[in-house]
Structure 1
Amino acid sequence: MIGLEEECVSPHVVMAQRNHVRLDWRRPYRTLERVRPTAWTCACRATVYELCEGGGRAFIRRTTQFDGDRQVDESPRWPVNEARVIWTALLSGRAR
């Protein structure tokens, strides 16, 4: 029998490291035109992260699901290359 972890095709965020960088999460606000998710974490967890890019800028969207309720928060906008570095840090537990 295959376990749930083995069925997942998107990455999971590892546990935050003790000295992780705290990201500034905000309620969604006026977004970039033509923004699209380019990477995301597995939807099997209560919190899903998406790396969103558009117009040379990028941000991370965090969606938390509790008992049918959803809360969406977004990071500040960064240049795409900087956002990709932060995305990698988030996946590895060095940012949250």
Structure 2
Amino acid sequence: MPLRDDCAGFSPHVAMVQRDHVPLEWREPYPVLERVRVTAWTCACLAMVYELCAGAGQGFIRRTVQHDQGHRVHQTRLWPIDEARAVWTGVLSGRAR
């Protein structure tokens, strides 16, 4: 994903959601893995930030909506890491939300 002209960040921005996108089920955060690391993320210049999280061969997408009063976090279910990476590509391209 190209960077926006008005942003000095180095992380990608998500594309506009596509009409035929795959809707993801967003859940309240829950302890899914004992150890997890963020392996990719979108630019924090926008109110909604996405992260690809991985651990123990599995992965999920975390979505954070930033507000003046704080932030709200949701996450998807777990997938095998290769499937989570494919969903991540869908999020970036607007084909999944």
TM-score class, shorter:
over 0.9
Task: Report the more deviating stretch, 79-88 or 25-34.
Answer: 25-34
Contact 2:32 2:78 in 1 (8 A): no
**Structure 1: stretches of 5+ with no match in the other structure:** none
State the Cα deviation string for residues 12-42 of structure 1 (Å, max 9, x = none): 0011000100000000012201100000000
Aligned residue for 1:58? 59
Structure 2 residue 10 is matched with structure 1 residue 9:
yes
State the secondary structure of the residue aligned to 1:76: coil
State the aligned residue count. 93
TM-score by length of 1: 0.92
* 1:65 to partner: Cα distance: 1.0
Q: Percent identity?
A: 59
Structure 2 residue 69 is matched with structure 1 residue 68:
yes
Q: Distance in 2 between matches of 1:4 and 1:37?
A: 25
Q: Distance in 2 between matches of 1:12 and 1:75?
A: 19
Aligned residue for 1:80? 81
**Structure 2: stretches of 5+ with no match in the other structure:** none
Q: Distance in 2 between matches of 1:12 and 1:68?
A: 23
Q: Distance in 2 between matches of 1:29 and 1:80?
A: 18
Q: Distance in 1 between matches of 2:32 and 2:84?
A: 15
